[in-house]
């Protein structure tokens, strides 16, 4: 497995390591359905309509012979990118003093979960704590904590103030003494407690790494409710606060965070179009056939459409105007993903099997990315412009999650031998990857796959992470 180095701490801790259809309409419908299931793509059937005269879009016309795909990497394949080790910071998080039992689950457990999910910390089991009563609710002395191997400690107190709660939180880095490195005071309703915890945990991560963590972000995904029915949901990144977004009935899928809220694709008997939450099924992006899979970057929306006969990638303004065709290949082009440095990733069968390509936002400079594995799909960029990573689903007996570095062509296998895993989504800081697993729901993993945690039980498809 490839190891990716987490952000550097001020002081290191210890290490641990097919669309099968007779005609174009059937092809489009099959494509839409497989986009959610397994993106089962093949070349379009004979007789499929050629692109309409006068359309634009880049074609990959080099004609160069394509090399045979090498197998995808398995576990035990170690590629050293920066460092083969993961430095974990040992942190203790006692229960908050004075917290009402009714809100106890929204206090220290939220902090422990955040620190665990981000993959940078070893959260010490609270049963081992040797807290000195003389410390009081907010202070620390080094000895009781250093005896259990703690490098950092979070202390906190909750007090009622009328109908609200006042929350004091402090973080101590024991190597720097017994003065708090981060000290925060919050006041609000009991419902606001989780937000306070997320904000504080993010500040602790920033104090240690120089970059805040995205603990206040959300996941969007589609969930199967029954035969012929899927709905779009959102939840906090840690699985809390599950909320149904689509109420149109039928099949709703491929959500995206965009202007005005959650955008998603709605399947009807005649085709598919893109709508937005709250519009009660009114199309924002359509055009005949199948229009689906909207994503947003640099003021434009990128999507897949069969309006010209074949499945291609297009862009438009968010109001649906100024539609531009970006791809023009005999294969199927689907699944656009927006990345930093003005790049768009997508899946194409132009060379036979589904592979991942990148291009500029105007459709120029098309380049193939994946040459390992014969069935790669659902690409998503790491949003950090300092890194050139794409996560994707690859088929190797079962579906698994991988990343590929665009600069070095080095691969990381995130999952193996752990059920079927698909539809990855990067956190805004690229420290976490969310995906669906047949192990039981949505998981969050570290970029090296060493840390994996179930955050939300139940089916989920086509995940997106808010940025």
Give a yes or no: residue 362 inside a domain. yes
Strands 121-123 and 87-92: parallel
The pLDDT of residue 50 is 35
Q: pLDDT by residue for the chain (467 residues), tens digit each?
A: 443 333 333 333 334 333 333 334 344 444 444 443 433 343 333 333 333 333 444 445 444 667 667 776 665 433 333 344 567 999 999 999 998 887 778 999 999 999 999 999 999 999 999 877 778 899 999 999 999 999 999 999 999 999 999 999 999 999 999 999 999 999 999 999 999 999 999 999 999 999 999 999 999 999 999 999 999 999 999 999 999 999 988 999 999 999 999 999 999 888 899 999 988 888 899 987 899 999 999 999 999 999 988 999 999 999 999 999 999 999 999 999 999 988 999 999 999 999 999 999 999 999 999 999 989 999 999 999 999 999 999 998 899 999 999 999 999 999 999 999 999 999 999 999 999 999 999 999 999 999 999 999 999 999 999 98
Other CB atoms within 10 A of residue 270 CB: 10
Structural domain boundaries, residue 369:
218-465
DSSP 88-128: EEEEE-PPPBT--GGGGGGSHHHHHHHHHHTTSEEEPPGGG
Boundary (domain end) residue, out of 209, 236, 266: 209
Total domains present in the chain: 2
Prediction pTM value: 0.84
With a CB cutoff of 8 Å and minimum separation 6, the contacts of 225 are: 231
Give a yes or no: residue 203 inside a domain. yes
Among 211, 202, 148, CA closest to 174: 148
With a CB cutoff of 8 Å and minimum separation 6, the contacts of 214 are: 202, 237, 427, 428, 429
Give a yes or no: residue 29 inside a domain. no
**And the tokens for 275?**
């709508």
Q: Same domain, yes or no, for 176 and 257?
A: no
Q: Same domain, yes or no, for 248 and 305?
A: yes
Q: Same domain, yes or no, for 159 and 231?
A: no
Q: Same domain, yes or no, for 289 and 355?
A: yes
Give a yes or no: residue 81 inside a domain. no
For residue 399, give the DSSP letter: E
Give a yes or no: residue 338 inside a domain. yes
- Residue 200 Cα distances to 167, 183, 386, 466, angstroms: 11, 9, 25, 19
Q: Same domain, yes or no, for 145 and 192?
A: yes
Give a yes or no: residue 34 inside a domain. no
Q: Same domain, yes or no, for 196 and 293?
A: no
Q: Can you tell me the distance from the alpha carbon of 2 to that of 81, in angstroms, rounded to the nearest whole number?
A: 7
For residue 380, give the DSSP letter: E
Q: What is the CATH number of the domain that holds 332?
A: 2.120.10.30
Q: Same domain, yes or no, for 148 and 233?
A: no
Q: Same domain, yes or no, for 199 and 261?
A: no
Buried residues in 362-394 as b, exposed as e (16+ CB within 10 A) = ebeebebbbebbbbbbbbbbbbbeebbbbbbbb
Residue 437 φ then ψ, to 5° = -130, 140
410 in Cβ contact with 2 (< 8 Å) = yes
Q: Same domain, yes or no, for 263 and 310?
A: yes
Q: Same domain, yes or no, for 406 and 259?
A: yes
Boundary (domain end) residue, out of 209, 229, 254: 209
Among 152, 166, 162, 251, CA closest to 207: 152
Q: Same domain, yes or no, for 163 and 240?
A: no
Give a yes or no: residue 32 inside a domain. no
The pLDDT of residue 17 is 37
Give a yes or no: residue 439 inside a domain. yes
The pLDDT of residue 15 is 40
With a CB cutoff of 8 Å and minimum separation 6, the contacts of 432 are: 117, 118, 119, 237, 426, 444, 445, 446, 447
Q: Same domain, yes or no, for 198 and 293?
A: no
H or E segment and range at residue 436: strand 433-437
Boundary (domain end) residue, out of 157, 188, 209: 209
Q: What is the CATH number of the domain that holds 154?
A: 3.40.50.10070
């Amino acid at each position: 497995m490839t190891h990716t180095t987490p952000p550097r701490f001020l002081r290191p801790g210890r290490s641990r390591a097919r669309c099968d259809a007779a005609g174009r309409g059937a092809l489009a419908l099959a494509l839409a359905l497989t986009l959610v299931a397994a993106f089962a793509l093949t070349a379009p059937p004979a007789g499929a309509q050629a692109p309409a005269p006068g359309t634009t879009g880049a074609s990959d016309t080099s004609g160069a012979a394509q090399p045979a795909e090498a197998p995808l990497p398995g576990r035990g394949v170690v590629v050293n990118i920066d460092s083969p080790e993961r430095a974990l910071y040992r942190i203790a998080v006692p229960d908050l003093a004075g917290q009402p039992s009714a809100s106890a689950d929204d206090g220290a457990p939220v902090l422990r979960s955040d620190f665990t999910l981000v993959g940078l910390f070893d959260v010490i089991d609270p049963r081992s704590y040797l807290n000195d009563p003389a410390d009081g609710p907010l202070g620390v002395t080094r000895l009781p904590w250093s005896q259990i191997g703690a490098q950092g400690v979070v202390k906190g107190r909750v007090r009622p103030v009328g109908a609200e709660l006042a929350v004091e939180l402090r973080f101590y880095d024991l190597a720097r003494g017994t003065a708090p490195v981060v000290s925060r005071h919050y006041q609000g309703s009991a419902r606001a407690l989780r937000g306070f915890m997320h904000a504080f945990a993010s500040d602790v991560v920033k104090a240690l790494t120089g970059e805040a963590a995205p603990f206040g972000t959300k996941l969007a995904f589609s969930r199967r409710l029954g035969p012929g029915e899927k709905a779009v949901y959102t939840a906090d990144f840690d699985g809390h606060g599950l909320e149904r977004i689509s109420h149109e009935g039928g099949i709703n899928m491929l959500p995206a965070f965009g202007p005005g809220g959650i955008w998603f694709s709605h399947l009807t008997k005649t085709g598919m179009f893109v709508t937005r939450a709250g519009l009660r099924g009114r199309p924002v992006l359509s055009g005949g056939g199948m229009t689906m899979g909207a994503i947003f970057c640099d003021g434009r929306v990128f999507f897949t459409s069969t309006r010209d006969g074949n499945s291609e990638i297009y862009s438009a303004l968010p109001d649906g105007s100024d539609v531009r065709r970006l791809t023009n290949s005999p294969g199927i082009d689907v699944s656009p993903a927006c990345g930093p440095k003005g790049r768009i990733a997508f899946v194409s069968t132009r060379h036979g099997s589904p592979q991942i390509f990148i291009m500029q936002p105007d459709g120029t400079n098309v380049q193939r990315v994946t040459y390992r594995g014969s069935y790669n799909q659902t690409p998503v960029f790491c949003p950090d412009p300092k890194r050139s990573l794409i996560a994707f689903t690859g088929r190797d007996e079962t579906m698994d999650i991988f990343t590929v570095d665009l600069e070095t062509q080095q691969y990381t296998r995130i999952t193996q031998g752990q059920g079927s895993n698909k539809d990855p989504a990067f956190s805004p800081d690229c420290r976490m990857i969310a995906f669906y697993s047949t192990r039981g729901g949505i998981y969050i993993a570290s970029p090296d796959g060493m840390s994996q945690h179930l955050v939300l039980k139940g089916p989920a498809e086509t995940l997106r992470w808010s940025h």
